[in-house]
Amino acid sequence: MDSLIKEFYKNKTIFLTGGTGFLGKVVIEKVLRATETSRIYVLIRSKRGKSPQDRIDEWKTDPFFGVLLKIQPNALERIVPISGDCEEPDLGISAADRELLKNEVQVVIHCAATVNFAEPLHKAVDINTRATQLMLNLAKEMSRLVGFVHVSTAFSNCVISHISEQYYPDNLIAGADKVLSIRNVCGDNLLDRMASTLIGKFPNTYTYTKALAEQVIQTESGELPVCIFRPGAITATNKEPMSGWIDNLYGPISMIYGCAIGVLRIIPTNKRFLQHIVPVDCCANCILACAMQTAKESSEKKRRSLPPTIYNYVPHEQNTLTNKHFIETVYKHRYTCALEQALWYPFLHTTSFLWMFKLIAFFYHTLPGYAIDLVLRLRGQKPRMIKLYQKVHKTMNALAYFGTGFWTYETINTDRLWQSLSDEDKKHFEFDMRIFDWDDYFTRALVGMRVYMAKEDPSDESIMRARKHMKRLERRHRVLQLFICICGIFIFKWLAGFYL
């Protein structure tokens, strides 16, 4: 059977936001490599003196696009930058570019977002919520639009424990329309001071403003052919275009990297709870399928006045991943993916209590950090460990809510979407999480972390050196453990003799 997804995108014109981000970049690569889309307009801003076109031109030498450019040397010519910024009024798009988009675009994929948990509320509202409203307003003027995918997050409703593929406006203290109205009349500082009141039970500005954006879609999309894609924590690629590719240290990968390098030894996590991670290439495939399905169902949904469909995308209930399995897998590959630059032998303990994490971190992180910095100072070198641990603890505090929380998800729409695909589409646009091989995936992801994040040589020689280094670190680790145990025994005996 032919590929319906490829047929859908043939000669289509796409407008994508967040194209320089982790997910957006993977979506662009897959569209160019797997479909015959005619053009991709990408909203992109100038950065560090580089124009939007300059930033796209850099992709010609980016290894991530190597597979694509080997097959299609001129593939990047199908990308057209649209100068703009999600923080700006009207997205910072010029009048001429707006006319271009209105007349040509058929599919919109809105990936742009700030994923910084500590983002000031005014900035998170501008990028995650107001920009979504502005994208809808622009889409309403697109005469050829057939599909619009808004990328949300599976944690947009994390204040409840079971999340179905539906809207949850009751989670919000104030509706999106009121918050956006307040934003229009309030300065940055004033809105930020209102954050604790507006956010309510949400753990951070990211999840809160993504929840607001979903309500904007629910209430303002009208008859547009729109859907919402809610992925879990997006991690390294599984297979495409290269296995284990990643370009950031957000979420679970930051913990793996910190453990592998030997600086992270305690995390606030409940081992029994579920880990909701999904590979970025699978997310890209699902997004492309969602757009096609949205176009197919638009007439029926318009006739019945149904709200935009939501697709939850997390590990399937038949193939769940626990935090315990996640951590044990890291242990399992300690030597397989050893780092030459590791500072200490990797080990990782967990606790469900934030106060206990802070207490243990003082002994596991802070005290060793001060000791190392003292040695560095005596050598005339710049101390760096305490500054590093301040960043590590800030990240762990932000992730604690998700490591110690328990959520279950309904994925009926996503399962139905997968079942509706042809065999050809299932082969080329894989995103089924029911039969996903987690052990195989983590092998790929950890190798990718070593190569793409740690920037270590993938050669056999480098791996052998890293394993020898790991064995030396393990011996030092065991000696230190023995020393601490002996000291503990002497202290215990001394205290026992003192009181007796």
Mean pLDDT, residues 397-406 taken together: 89
Q: How far apart are CA 220 and CA 129, in angstroms?
A: 12
Using the CB atoms, write b or e for 421-451: b if 16+ within 10 Å.
beeebbebbbbbbeebebeebbbbbbbbbbb
Contact 148/108 with Cβ under 8 angstroms?
yes
- 337 and 200 in a common domain: no
- 371 and 226 in a common domain: no
List, as one string, the DSSP characters of 106-169.
-EEEE------TT--HHHHIIIIIIHHHHHHHHHTT-TT--EEEEE--TTTTTTSSEE-SS--G
Instruction: With cut-offs at 50, 70 and 90, classify the pLDDT of residue 1.
Output: low
Domain range holding 332? 323-403+455-499
Q: Output 323 or 336, whichever has higher pLDDT.
A: 323
pLDDT of 499 reads 57
Least confident of 13-22, 193-202, 430-439, 484-493: 484-493
Mean pLDDT, residues 112-117 taken together: 92
Going by the DSSP 8-state scheme, the letter that residue 77 receives in this structure is G
Q: Answer yes or no: is 267 within a domain.
A: no
Q: How far apart are CA 65 and CA 33, in angstroms?
A: 10
- 222 and 307 in a common domain: yes
Q: How far apart are CA 157 and CA 214, in angstroms?
A: 10
- 210 and 85 in a common domain: yes
Token readout for 279 is 């590979």
Q: Answer yes or no: is 88 within a domain.
A: yes
CA angle 40, 216, 235 (to 5 degrees): 55
Q: How far apart are CA 389 and CA 383, in angstroms?
A: 12
Q: How far apart are CA 36 and CA 425, in angstroms?
A: 15
Q: Answer yes or no: is 87 within a domain.
A: yes
Q: How far apart are CA 343 and CA 261, in angstroms?
A: 6
CATH number for the domain harbouring residue 416: 3.40.50.720
Residues, the chain: 500
- 385 and 350 in a common domain: yes
Q: Answer yes or no: is 266 within a domain.
A: no
CA angle 445, 446, 450 (to 5 degrees): 115
Q: Answer yes or no: is 439 within a domain.
A: yes
- 410 and 422 in a common domain: yes
Instruction: With cut-offs at 50, 70 and 90, classify the pLDDT of residue 73.
Output: very high
Q: How many domains does the chain have?
A: 2
- 245 and 102 in a common domain: yes
Asked which of 452, 468, 490 is the last residue of a domain, the reply is 452
Average pLDDT in the chain:
92
Instruction: With cut-offs at 50, 70 and 90, classify the pLDDT of residue 250.
Output: confident
Asked which of 452, 469, 490 is the last residue of a domain, the reply is 452
- 415 and 376 in a common domain: no
- 280 and 388 in a common domain: no
Give just the sign of the alpha carbon dihedral 55, 56, 61, 67: positive
Q: Answer yes or no: is 265 within a domain.
A: no
- 466 and 339 in a common domain: yes
Q: Answer yes or no: is 491 within a domain.
A: yes
pLDDT exceeds cutoff 70 at 191: yes
- 460 and 348 in a common domain: yes
pLDDT of 337 reads 82
Contact 210/153 with Cβ under 8 angstroms?
yes
- Give 42's strand partners: 16, 81
Q: How far apart are CA 230 and CA 321, in angstroms?
A: 18
- 292 and 316 in a common domain: yes
pLDDT exceeds cutoff 80 at 333: no
Q: Which of 188-197, 209-218, 324-333 has the highest mean pLDDT?
A: 209-218
Contact 412/316 with Cβ under 8 angstroms?
no
User: Which of 488, 468, 470 is closest to 480 using CA atoms?
Assistant: 488
Terminal CA-to-CA distance of the chain, rounded, Å?
Answer: 84
Q: Answer yes or no: is 263 within a domain.
A: no
- Give 367's strand partners: none
pLDDT exceeds cutoff 70 at 145: yes
pLDDT of 332 reads 79
